[in-house]
């Protein structure tokens, strides 16, 4: 089993997937305590000074300008964790919690938060022992960070909340009880540590990482399904020819078309009718696959790029800059992840689930069974080679698309104006996969209040 070294440097999507799935372990890298000590000293100096430094010796939100007495600072750190641990709903699954433990440890290990190395070390210790905080799936604050989920993640560090050990049910047991069984003493949080534990976007990062990984598998599977459909329907590979694809060189489209050419190369079925004139032009659902699948690939590429940046970012507030100044920031805000997740969810729903191949092949099977191999509408609906109901058919499809997916933009829906009638009626699109990582692609709740789903918090 490989080991992922957590030293504050960027992680890869595969690192997250492997640790979340138990295919890799994680450990704190050498030199991390020394790196973190520098910013921790800045916090200590601020505590000894006279200036009000937000998050270090002040209150939060409306009390940001109010100095907090030294005797109350430690109690305040535990209070911010406990007060924000107000999530509801079913707990996040083991893989998601494992990913968030890894990602939160990486952020703190970067050395910009002014906390002790004990925090990321304890998070990774939980990961090693299989002790997973019970983190409710709903109750966070929109794209404005994942306060609720991170607070539940942090509670067991101080002996509060619930932990799920090996063999425990989804709701786990009181954290103090589980820690006692493993001989682990709860931590006493120092000034600023409570705030650093709850600020961030790691739950959104984890869910988007899962979605990006799975979407990468789906776009390849979609091309395979298209290639199989082309063979089964005795179609042509001409629409995927490099000469025509180069005339509209969107990167995803070129990649999908090249994949289809490779999949169909050497096909005996294709060779059997290559010179046949049984169809001048294949159905829309086959010809447009690279354009639709390619658009999904482009959206996936955008989401992957956003995630790559995020997996190496510091998402705390305040942070200690390299020159030692304590800086106020809004890096805890998850809007870049939210947009990427929403776009990826739309790409899955519109480009793959409701795309031309998915909806059109059943109709093509139906048409192929008609007398004399006649394509399109039945002869009694034809006049001078043109369907009498062609326009009405398109209008009905557009109306149906508006009814079934009112929460998605119409211009991206291949059903609206596709010019073909699917043989199977689909249920109205649900928000389950489209509203999880703050309206993104991943677990979290249909009401948009999963990790990254809810109202903005004024305590920032």
Name residue, tokens 């002869």: 379
State the pLDDT confidence band at 409, using cuts at 50, 70 and 90. Answer: low
Q: Is residue 451 part of a domain?
A: no
Q: Are residues 6 and 140 in the same domain?
A: yes
pLDDT score of 304 more than 80? yes
Q: What is the separation, in whole angstroms, between the first and last Cα of the chain?
A: 40
Q: How many domains does the chain have?
A: 2
Q: Are residues 293 and 184 in the same domain?
A: no
Rounded Cα gap, residues 326 and 191, in angstroms = 14
Q: Are residues 172 and 217 in the same domain?
A: no
Rounded mean pLDDT, 401-408: 55
pLDDT score of 442 more than 50? no
Identify the pLDDT of residue 273.
Answer: 78
Q: Is residue 356 part of a domain?
A: yes
Q: Is residue 405 part of a domain?
A: yes
Q: Is residue 433 part of a domain?
A: no
- CATH number of the domain within which 357 lies: 1.20.200.10
Q: Which residue has the higher pLDDT, 318 or 275?
A: 318
112 is catalytic: no
Q: Which residue has the higher pLDDT, 121 or 51?
A: 121
Q: Is residue 152 part of a domain?
A: yes
pLDDT score of 420 more than 50? no
Active-site annotation holder among 54, 112, 240, 302: 54
Rounded mean pLDDT, 177-200: 95
Q: Is residue 445 part of a domain?
A: no
Identify the pLDDT of residue 100.
Answer: 98
The residue count of the chain comes to 460
Radius of gyration of the chain (CA): 27
pLDDT score of 212 more than 60? yes
> Tokens in use for 148?
């609720």
Identify the pLDDT of residue 348.
Answer: 83
Element (H, E) at 141: none
State the pLDDT confidence band at 403, using cuts at 50, 70 and 90. Answer: low
Q: Which residue has the higher pLDDT, 456 or 25?
A: 25
Q: Are residues 16 and 149 in the same domain?
A: yes
pLDDT tens for 88-101 read 999 999 999 999 99
Q: Are residues 164 and 45 in the same domain?
A: yes
Last residue of a domain, one of 208, 227, 254: 208
Identify the pLDDT of residue 66.
Answer: 84
Rounded mean pLDDT, 266-288: 80
Q: Are residues 165 and 83 in the same domain?
A: yes
Q: Is residue 455 part of a domain?
A: no
> Tokens in use for 155?
């509670």
Lowest model confidence (mean pLDDT) among 195-204, 205-214, 258-267, 271-280: 271-280
Identify the pLDDT of residue 149.
Answer: 95
What are the CA-CA distances from residue 20 to residues 28, 64, 97, 206, 214 (Å)? Answer: 16, 37, 8, 9, 14
Q: Are residues 185 and 280 in the same domain?
A: no
Q: Are residues 65 and 195 in the same domain?
A: yes
130-134, 236-240, 322-326: range with highest mean pLDDT: 130-134
Rounded Cα gap, residues 80 and 292, in angstroms = 47
Last residue of a domain, one of 152, 173, 208: 208
Give the CA angle between residues 398, 402, 403 to the nearest 5°.
115
Q: Are residues 372 and 276 in the same domain?
A: yes
- CATH number of the domain within which 100 lies: 1.10.275.10
Q: Are residues 172 and 228 in the same domain?
A: no
> Tokens in use for 392?
């009405």
Q: Are residues 78 and 195 in the same domain?
A: yes
User: What is the extent of the structural domain holding 158?
Assistant: 2-208
Q: Are residues 331 and 378 in the same domain?
A: yes
pLDDT score of 161 more than 90? yes
Lowest model confidence (mean pLDDT) among 243-257, 311-325, 379-393: 379-393
Report the chain's mean pLDDT, rounded to a whole number.
81
Last residue of a domain, one of 412, 427, 443: 412
pLDDT tens for 312-369 read 999 999 999 999 999 999 999 999 999 999 999 998 887 665 555 555 554 554 444 3
pLDDT tens for 112-121 read 999 999 999 9
Q: Is residue 165 part of a domain?
A: yes
Lowest model confidence (mean pLDDT) among 214-218, 407-411, 432-436: 432-436
State the pLDDT confidence band at 440, using cuts at 50, 70 and 90. Answer: very low
40-54, 297-311, 383-397, 433-447: range with highest mean pLDDT: 297-311
């Amino acid at each position: 089993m490989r080991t992922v070294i957590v030293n504050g440097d960027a992680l890869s999507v595969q690192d997250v997937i492997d640790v979340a799935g138990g295919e890799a372990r994680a450990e704190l890298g050498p030199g991390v305590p020394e790196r973190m000590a520098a910013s921790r000293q800045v916090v200590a100096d601020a505590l000894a000074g006279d200036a009000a430094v937000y998050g270090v010796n002040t209150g939060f939100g409306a009390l940001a300008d109010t100095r907090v007495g030294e005797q109350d600072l430690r109690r305040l750190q535990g209070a911010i964790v406990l007060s924000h641990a107000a999530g509801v709903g079913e707990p996040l699954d083991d893989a998601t919690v494992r990913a968030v433990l890894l990602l939160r440890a990486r952020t703190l290990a970067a050395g910009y938060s002014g906390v002790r190395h004990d925090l990321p070390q304890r998070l990774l210790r939980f990961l090693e022992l299989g002790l997973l905080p019970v983190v409710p799936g709903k109750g966070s604050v929109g794209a404005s960070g994942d306060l609720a989920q991170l607070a539940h993640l942090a509670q067991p560090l101080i002996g509060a909340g619930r932990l799920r050990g090996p063999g425990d049910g989804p709701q786990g047991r009181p954290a103090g009880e589980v820690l006692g069984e493993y001989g682990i003493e709860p931590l006493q949080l120092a000034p600023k540590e409570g705030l650093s534990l709850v600020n961030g976007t790691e739950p959104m990062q984890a869910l988007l990482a899962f979605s990006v990984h799975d979407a990468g598998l789906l776009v390849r599977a979609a091309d395979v399904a298209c290639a199989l459909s082309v063979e089964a329907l005795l179609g042509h590979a001409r629409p995927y020819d490099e000469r025509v694809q180069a005339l509209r060189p969107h990167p995803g489209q070129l990649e999908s078309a090249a994949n289809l050419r490779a999949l169909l190369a050497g096909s005996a079925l294709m060779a059997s009718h290559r010179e046949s004139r049984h169809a001048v032009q294949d159905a829309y659902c086959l010809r447009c696959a690279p354009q639709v699948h390619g658009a999904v690939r482009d959206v996936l590429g955008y989401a992957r790029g956003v995630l790559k940046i995020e997996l190496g970012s510091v998402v705390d507030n305040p942070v200690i800059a390299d020159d030692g100044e304590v800086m106020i920031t809004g890096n805890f805000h998850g809007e870049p992840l939210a947009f990427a997740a929403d776009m990826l969810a739309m790409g899955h729903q519109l480009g793959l689930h409701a795309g031309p191949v998915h909806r059109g092949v059943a109709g093509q099977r139906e048409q192929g069974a008609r007398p004399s191999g006649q394509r399109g509408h039945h002869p009694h609906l034809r006049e001078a080679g043109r369907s009498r109901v062609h326009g009405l058919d398109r209008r009905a499809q557009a109306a149906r698309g508006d009814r079934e997916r009112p929460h998605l933009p119409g211009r991206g829906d291949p059903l609206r104006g596709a010019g073909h009638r699917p043989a199977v009626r689909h249920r109205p699109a649900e928000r389950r996969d489209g509203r999880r990582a703050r309206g993104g692609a991943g677990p979290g709740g249909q009401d948009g209040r999963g990790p990254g789903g809810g109202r903005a918090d004024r305590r920032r």
